[in-house]
Structure 1
Amino acid sequence: MLIAIIGFFAGIIGGMGMGGGTILIPALVLFASIDPKIAQSVNLLSSIPMTIFALLIHIKNKKVVFKLVLPIALFGVIGAIFGSFVANYLSSDLLRKIFGGFLLLVGAYEVRKGIKEPKGNCKKKK
């Protein structure tokens, strides 16, 4: 049941375009006691069907800029290959610390941005 709940919330976050892995990986590591390397691979594989359905809805709502997709996908694939090889040489403990530091930085950035922007004055992107 715990895994299903974690997957549900990761799907919600992923569907909103914020990356379900930011929820899924820490939740699997912290609450399900899964090794970080296994959690990363589970995240990658489980994101495929979630991404397909979310993408179809975003395309239907005309929220995809296709000219951005090719360079991002191309260099993303190159980065994924590189990252996969690097992850094989790093310990799970170090990967956990790197990912935690990344989440801390992103969280601090979002808090700072939220403080700097006046309430109710969020910029809408077209």
Structure 2
Amino acid sequence: MIGLIIAAFFAAIAGSLGLGGGGILLLYLTAFADYEQLKAQGINLIFFIPCAIIALIIHAKNKLIEWKATLVCGITGLAGVALGFYLAGLFDPKWLGKAFAVFLLFLGLKELFHREKDQKKP
């Protein structure tokens, strides 16, 4: 239990810095705490919700939210969640975890080697 609290703390710190704290928490839960992928992702969402609510309040207060786009993203996001939940239930948790690990590996390699092209050329 102490390990989970420590991992959650560091995930929260990394997440608040924009470093992908959810990825850290998922890796800890699946690799070290022996949680199934679906359960680990559910725990990750529970930690994410308070951060998202605070960010929403701050951005709304500063008038930085395009509410029409938010509505479209929210509706399509909910549909994606329902579809993803259904599809995840069809796969063995072992394969789901391996697929997620491969996804994280490719995402990490892309971020490591991808260079953003400069829009303004002198």
Shorter chain as normaliser: what TM range?
0.7 to 0.9
Provide the secondary structure at the position in 2 that maps to 1:87.
helix
Q: Percent of aligned pairs with the same residue?
A: 37
8 A contact 1:35–1:92 mirrored in 2: yes
Unaligned segments of structure 2, at least 5 residues: none
Q: 1:68-83 maps to which residues of 2 (within 5 A)? A: 68-83=69-84
Higher CA-based Rg: 2
Structure 2 residue aligned with 1:108: 109
**Superimposed CA distance per residue, residues 76-115 of structure 1 (whole angstroms, 9 cap, x where no aligned partner):** 11000000111111111111111111111111111112xx
Provide the secondary structure at the position in 1 that maps to 2:34.
coil
56-65 or 44-53: which moved more?
Answer: 56-65
Unaligned segments of structure 1, at least 5 residues: none
How far apart, CA to CA, are the structure 2 residues paired with 1:55 and 1:41?
21
**Superimposed CA distance per residue, residues 43-93 of structure 1 (whole angstroms, 9 cap, x where no aligned partner):** 223322232123334444555444432221111110000001111111111
**Alpha carbons of 1:77 and 1:22: their partners in 2 closer, same or farther (altered >3 Å)?**
same
8 A contact 1:28–1:39 mirrored in 2: yes
Provide the TM-score with structure 1 as the length reference: 0.75
Matched, 1:28 2:29: yes
Structure 2 residue aligned with 1:51: 52
54-63 or 29-38: which moved more?
Answer: 54-63
**Structure 1 position 19, deviation (Å):** 4.9
**Alpha carbons of 1:67 and 1:101: their partners in 2 closer, same or farther (altered >3 Å)?**
same
**Alpha carbons of 1:72 and 1:117: their partners in 2 closer, same or farther (altered >3 Å)?**
closer
Say how many residue pairs are matched. 118
Provide the TM-score with structure 2 as the length reference: 0.77
**Alpha carbons of 1:52 and 1:101: their partners in 2 closer, same or farther (altered >3 Å)?**
same
**Alpha carbons of 1:13 and 1:58: their partners in 2 closer, same or farther (altered >3 Å)?**
farther
Q: CA RMSD in A?
A: 2.6
Structure 1 residue aligned with 2:41: 40
